[in-house]
Chains A and B, each alone.
Chain A
């Protein structure tokens, strides 16, 4: 079945780095844009970044621009989020997510992973 499984979360000190991974299965990964979306403890959802299916286009929320990098390996059906210069406010559950249709950031995010927890604290 269609599945996204995140990994790589953990506890990191402010200013540190972490790399999240997302393993995709059950669909043609290379056809889809992919997202990272996060949720701080007790808070709402915040879109973090997207990457195009061809790896050419990326975009980031202002809150992470210049600190986070998104990438993918279509041969490995994997999505990544490199997080540098981490701050306490980056503490959240990070979800890997897929839009409903292939080829763009379409309306509807219909596949979500279970999330991986990142805690930034000294």
Chain B
């Protein structure tokens, strides 16, 4: 199984400041078609998860452009250019290259 490791576990942020979350996979998520099979999700308090980024760097529909995904192979980063209060929640990465689909352990983003 592909193991997904996120850091940090907790991320206190100041509104208006940037934030960054790292995700590493135990195997490369780069497929022969050139795409990285890595998604990012946020789960806001009391809500279902929602898709932010798919295929490593593509913003999902309706996701603000302050969110960006980057990386390739085994190392990926989710960046928030300017954190807003509504961004609090737990952020997860997930690989969809192979079954079983696996998630990172989550990064809790909270306002300082």
Contacts and interface: CB of A to CB of B under 8 A. Distances in A.
| A and B held together in a complex | yes
Contacts of B41: 45, 109
B76 interface: no
A110 B61 contact: yes
Interface residues of B, number: 27
A50 B99 contact: yes
By size class, the interface of chain A is 20 to 34
A61 B55 contact: no
Contacts of A19: none
Nearest to B53: A108
Interface stretch (A20-28, A76-84, A111-119): A111-119
A113 B48 CA distance: 7
A45 B89 CA distance: 14
A47 B58 CA distance: 22
Given A107-B39, A110-B54, 10 more contacts: A44-B105, A45-B41, A45-B49, A45-B92, A46-B103, A50-B101, A59-B100, A100-B51, A100-B54, A109-B51
Interface of B: 35, 37-39, 41, 43, 48-51, 54-55, 58, 60-61, 90, 92, 94, 96, 99-106
11 contacts: A35-B101, A44-B92, A44-B105, A45-B41, A45-B92, A45-B94, A50-B99, A61-B100, A107-B39, A109-B41, A109-B94
Interface of A: 35, 44-47, 50, 59, 61-62, 95, 99-100, 105-110, 112-115
